[in-house]
Structure 1
């Protein structure tokens, strides 16, 4: 199982300047190469390397960083082509799609840059790395991390590491290949219903209310609007300091929820059933005041957290079709839109069964997961990032 382990770098001012200059150089070269690829329509890795490798090296890069720049540009155009084919940028002939198709890809001066073992080496005993920069090989660059992160990094690091500059701090995101334990045969299933009012509800009685997170987001949204309206230098400094606070808070809550669900499943030898919520933002129709809440809800992140933690613990995870899970009666399986008269209340029009709507949906998800697992069908879950 692939796992990304972030560690924080502690560079001196001279080392930080060398790292910043390296990122500027590689991303300037990547932007120039992307412009050439847009003009010549030669965007495969082989074509770009054949035509422009000497030019990239002449920009001040050695062999391996030059190849990484070429690969980064080719992968960026490949991703854009896939999004265009999937219609993520609008239908053919739309102004947005044509603008994106005709605009060269650009890279921020501080965009992340991958480093392989030829350009980056780890000294785990002294907690330092040796990394290539445009100013020469930089040695004795210190890093820190939690005990679990450092242990995982030392035992399972494999592949590339990305150099990232964010909020004035430097990080290395290392790829680790952790062996997965055998998935145990589940003795039962925990169905997890994801929602806005309640972030997660299970058929075992656990419910994570979303009121606190919504209030936190509302406060952050009001604060941003107030600071943007003020427009002073001090207001801009506060905006810069606050810009990732909401994201960090939501990520921390998702980690807590996912950990609790996986620990319960592991303790009770149960599997976990999740909904496939792909395209929910396009399917759901809400009033305008509710749209910001829907689009800021990190439901995919929570699903990914549950999945990778469950795989690491040997817990089975099955993604099931989410259609009608909130309208189906778990007792008589009658499906009707009127079965759910309100957000929180479920009342079956056929048998009269009454229960909290999210709890009823979680039971339906658990039943579908058990049926799908018993039939040997493959999960509809996408591969984790």
Structure 2
């Protein structure tokens, strides 16, 4: 299993300026390659390399490896774009968002991540420094830091490329590490059903609910501040908005990490698997009023599910994804399904057997039951192959 460890770099001002120039050159080159491939309707890696390699090296002064990585980054971006279009993540064909996305070439930000292989980057773990290629030449003795356990993982398990990136003025290397997987528990005694929501971020069939009221208040304040800064429109307002956006993402990621860790620990401790709803395409399927859409779209359900998936894989806990249809309307006792079973958001009352339960807890029981039947049929779900740990 692959994990990505974020290692913080501590460059001098001269080294930081060289990094900035390097990213700018690599991303300008990648944007030009993208426009060329889009115009010629040929975005495969081999075709782009044959057409653009010499020009990229000459015009932007990139080394051989850096030029090839910039070209491959462009080809990978188009591969991801086609997959997202096919999955409906940009709406349906013919829609405004779909046509706007598909009708223009991919462009790269000036500080977008740039891949580095072992020819361009070497690690000195004892000295905690790296030697890294730049457009200004090879930079030696660039210091890095991080948590001791994470640096130990990088030293022992690093495998493949690392990405140089700048986030909020800080430089990082995203190191890909190959982690040994735990032996999968092939005979779980049952499944821990997890219902993902907004008021309660996650509810399990054990009765644990991770409330999101405090977080939702923070998110409402964030939206209000973001709107205010966007209306103001000054440079200082834009800088503050960028800083605040990073803080908002870090808060959500931290909460998702904590929730996923507790859920996986509970499943591992009791010898069970984990059942989750397959929420792929939920933004396209659900029809809500505008205020509700803002609330739904601003929470990263996919990130929480992905965190649960990769943490479970590290512990050998099986994970299955079930059809979410009618889990909130089905009675977990008699399985009668009716919209009237939900007299309110938080209450479930079966119209047939009279069973009364908290709506999220009832849904989690249904998810657990569906997960067990999927496991019996051999429909194991795969956890994500690549995740980032900070």
TM-score band w.r.t. shorter chain: over 0.9
Partner of 1:187: 189
Partner of 2:140: 139
Pairs within 5 Å for 1:248-263 = 248-263=250-265
- Displacement after TM superposition at 1:383 (Å): 5.8
- Is the Cα–Cα contact under 8 Å of residues 328 and 364 in structure 1 kept in the other structure? yes
Partner of 1:133, secondary structure, is: coil
Bigger relative contact order (CA 8 A; separation at least 6): 2
TM-score between the two structures when normalised by the length of structure 1 = 0.95
Q: Deviations over 1:126-146 (max 9, x none)?
A: 111111111111111111111
1: CA distance, partners of 2:356 / 2:94: 50
2: CA distance, partners of 1:257 / 1:154: 28
Partner of 1:271: 273
Distance 1:265 1:162, change over 3 A: same
Partner of 1:76: 77
- Displacement after TM superposition at 1:265 (Å): 1.3
- Is the Cα–Cα contact under 8 Å of residues 159 and 176 in structure 2 kept in the other structure? yes
- Displacement after TM superposition at 1:23 (Å): 0.6
Distance 1:156 1:296, change over 3 A: same
- Is the Cα–Cα contact under 8 Å of residues 310 and 385 in structure 2 kept in the other structure? no
Distance 1:236 1:111, change over 3 A: closer
1: CA distance, partners of 2:286 / 2:95: 23
Pairs within 5 Å for 1:300-339 = 300-339=302-341
Distance 1:90 1:343, change over 3 A: closer
Partner of 1:42, secondary structure, is: coil
Partner of 1:215: 217
Unpaired runs of 5+ residues, structure 2, are none
Partner of 2:133, secondary structure, is: strand
CA root-mean-square deviation: 1.9
TM-score between the two structures when normalised by the length of structure 2 = 0.93
1: CA distance, partners of 2:384 / 2:151: 29
- Displacement after TM superposition at 1:240 (Å): 3.3
Partner of 1:330, secondary structure, is: coil
Partner of 2:30: 30
- Is the Cα–Cα contact under 8 Å of residues 254 and 301 in structure 1 kept in the other structure? yes
- Displacement after TM superposition at 1:231 (Å): 4.4
2: CA distance, partners of 1:310 / 1:381: 8
Pairs within 5 Å for 1:1-385 = 1-58=1-58, 59-94=60-95, 96-184=97-185, 185-232=187-234, 234-379=236-381
2: CA distance, partners of 1:107 / 1:246: 23
2: CA distance, partners of 1:16 / 1:326: 52
Aligned length: 385
- Is the Cα–Cα contact under 8 Å of residues 273 and 366 in structure 1 kept in the other structure? yes
2: CA distance, partners of 1:97 / 1:228: 25
- Is the Cα–Cα contact under 8 Å of residues 318 and 380 in structure 2 kept in the other structure? no
- Displacement after TM superposition at 1:281 (Å): 1.3
Unpaired runs of 5+ residues, structure 1, are none
